Structure 1
Amino acid sequence: LYSNTAYMMLADIVSRASGISFPEFMAERVFGPLGMHHTTIMSKLGQSIPRVAESYAPDDEGFVRVFDNSSLYGAGGMYSTVDDLALWMNNYATGAVGGPAVIEVMQEQGVLNDGEEVSYAFGINVGELRGQRVIRHTGSSAGFRASFTYFPDLEGGVITLSNRSNIGSRMPADVLDVFFGERLDPAPAEEETAETSENEEASSWAPSLAQLADLAGTYYSEELQTVYTLHVEGGKLMGSHRRHGTFELEPTEEMTFAGPGFFGTATFDSENGPDASQTFRVSNGRVLNLLFTRTDFE
């Protein structure tokens, strides 16, 4: 399962076992041999890294700079380029670093206690996308956004890097269509028949303005120690976050809303009667039922 803490601990294990720091280990054993000469891991707060772009997030007047204040590594903190990441992508095919056995182990998917197999493997998501086997992952820190999608059987993929937090989640999919569209199955939306669309439209939930207003408020996740604020604007439920900016939450079924890729879906507790808007739970590719509790509820 996805766990930042686990990979930070793993980085510490690598450092202790090798006798050198994790950034040094990666430079000597991974980045150097692959020719990734423009890739480094930030090892201390405020470290100066040559030619690094600033990161930005939108505000009411345009954009503001957002600083990466973390010096933790193992689960992040790596600065790279598209060209260098293309070299890493190619390593999945060649096994130049690690060897074929390690590449194979990296793709072993997790299994839950009930035997269900999940898409998350060792630091990557493994599965199928539009009829093709795929290895992929996304990342975000401060205002930086990254996406990595590799099709082993097509011997190619797409890497996107951005230094603005509101770049949107559609860009990787759009680029995939340009380069690989003819070799991929139709996107799910293209496969929908008129009957399917009508059934979905008939079963969709259309909350009233009063219902949306009941959900507006400030919600806090103790696990993430972060806050999302919900408000109603133009008849729609909107979310906002200090790092992600403002985004729309679209109703999909009763008490459930879908947001951008970084957010996922939010399901409000519908069993509490008048207190239904006290909490919601978020699920996406990284988390399942992550609890947010309203802090301004009276």
Structure 2
Amino acid sequence: MWPAHIMRTIKYFKSNDALTALGSSSIFSTAEDLSKWVIHFQQALEQKDPIYLRMIETDTLNNKQKIDYAYGLEVSRRNGITNIAHDGGWAGFRTIISNFPDQKLAVILLSNDGNFDVYTNANTLAGLFLKDKVSPGPKREDLSNLPNVAVDTLLLKKYIGSYQLGPGWYVTFTLENGRIMVQANGEDKFPTDLKSDTVLWVPAYNSSVTFREIKEKAGALKYRGIIAPRVMPVKITPSQLNQYAGTYYSKELETAYRLSVKDGKLVAHHIRLGDFTFEPDLVDAGKFSSYNGIINFLTNTPKKINGFRLTNGRIKNILFEKQQ
């Protein structure tokens, strides 16, 4: 079994605990065995097996909105072609089985890259057999080959600051030696290339950023379809950081995190995950994030830290109590 790999910033890290991840997953198979399954699935649909027909029966939400999700499978129509698919993501592995029953075609992808885009790649492969009837998805505009432009420094200063891309996800722009630098929270800092008065290209992200609502300062930016408003960062002092140090235990998960302050950062230690850093949220005091999740600290009546709640992927608000 090959180890899984997870990208953090622009580096890959081996996930050695891939086989110990428990829950509703951890089913390991091969492309050959999955091929046998899709052949059987195709035959069952053609024979109108009631169990398999029920598996592709979609429904509506409480507000009567129709959805593509059926009984464990996603059923959609794109360019007049029916697609039945299911993807999986666990401990750095990404997989998909994508069926096109009317064309008797199936695409199976197995990846040990946690950032692998299974849907886009499956549709791209399917398009080779379906004469491009299946869209590979929208392509990001590549501005890397456009010439760089010189922009007045006063205008560049209007872009400097922090912007919120999503919950716990921020990006900060600085002006250093006449060049705009970009850094997302918890990541390295990267240079950018100016392509116009309002558009810059980030080679490390292979994507563009467009500044909007420009008055005294840019009020927002657009990045990969996300409109990110400008935010005013909350400052946290070393003494404030020290109050979060301690050991926190979850009765539900029967596991603990030990938090300590090292070099001005809040560092977590877990017996299986090792050491990693929780970065403070730029807007919400008492909220920290890492590649292992987001924590919101809790206080008691005297305003002392007595625990936190952890949210990560498919878990939400798991309680960890501070140990005395």
Which TM-score applies when normalising by structure 2? 0.46
Q: Which structure: greater helix fraction?
A: 1
Higher relative contact order (CA 8 A, sep 6+): 1
Q: Which structure: greater strand fraction?
A: 2
Larger-gyration structure (1/2): 2
Which TM-score applies when normalising by structure 1? 0.50
